[in-house]
Structure 1
Amino acid sequence: MALPCRSYISRSKFAEGLVMQKRSRQRFFEYSTDTAKTLVKRPPGRLPNNVVAYHIIRSIDIVSDIDNQTTPALSEIKWLQSLVMADVDSGTARTLVGIIGPFLSAFGFLFIIRIVMSWYPKIPVEKFPYVIVYAPTEPFLVFTRKVIPPLGGVDVTPVVWFGLVSFLNEILVGPQGLLVLLSQKV
């Protein structure tokens, strides 16, 4: 790629490369003629260079005007984005931190116990002390075992779920979590 160079050309000669400023008579080019020919693939002798350069410049103008135009699809995307980024007041965020924080911490602790329980597969999970940990976590682990089979006879799905719960805990209610920052908003 050639260094930008200045050249004075008339408006009819666009074939020297990509025009960076089109209003003044002094033009700046980022590509030389040879690099422009290698970038624009076209059959030889079909279109003159000035026609190809004109269409390149026109497409750059059209793309630069996209931000100024609103299409139905773009307005729908903006509407969906406003739903996702719904404004949550600080009182609601504080309430959510109070509910989600202990819930995620409790499930993190339960998954840690399930990690230890997976080392001993013959534990009677239907008996009293073990059923407290087994019952709330097993629906999540059954689904994940279909995707991730046991490795060497050891169930690794509690480790995966502990990682997910820890990640959600940090993202939502950690020191710089989303809900914590929203609850501090004035």
Structure 2
Amino acid sequence: MFKLIEPKNQDLQKPIINLFLRNIHKNPVLSETFPNPNNATFIVTEDTARGIHGGALLLKQNFTSLHRYIRKSLSSLASQNQEVWTCAVALHMENYSLVDHFEPFCKTFYQNLYEKFIEFGKQEKISFLCMILEPGEYLCTEVIGFWPYVVEVRPQESLDGLFHGILSLTYNPSQVTLKIMETRHTKTTKLAA
């Protein structure tokens, strides 16, 4: 269903990448968050007969570009001068004849995409992605896809109106949560002493 397109192979897959980027560029704030898609990796799918395309844009970005709460949560796992993988997701349906099957289709889409993220994480040796999503996409990933976010800044809590979160790519999402919580506890204990 999904195909992984690395930066070096983008020229061969321009049509599907451009279709996907059109969805990202519909939101100027989201578009500005991913300024150089030429360096991005894409995980995309397309069903032209049914007018469906979607997937994810993954881009290494500087730690300092993250939302301040996400930076604070990751301070034990990444340093200020380090790059982390960021990600945006989009799903577009031109033909709404799928409305009767919308939820089952979306459930399959988001669960399969998450499985591709896990594969990508193993390939890149990472245990999390820093997600930046439009409110609708966030809702779909959480309610329909059941994605294991370990830290969340919901759209109504962020100044840019986007969702910012840390998505666990481990089979046991509590491992990432535990690392973050241990770091917070250690820092709090040191401050109290």
- Is the strand fraction higher in 1 or 2? 2
Question: What TM-score do you get using the length of structure 1 for normalisation?
Answer: 0.23
Question: What TM-score do you get using the length of structure 2 for normalisation?
Answer: 0.22
- Is the helix fraction higher in 1 or 2? 1
Larger Rg: 1 or 2? 1
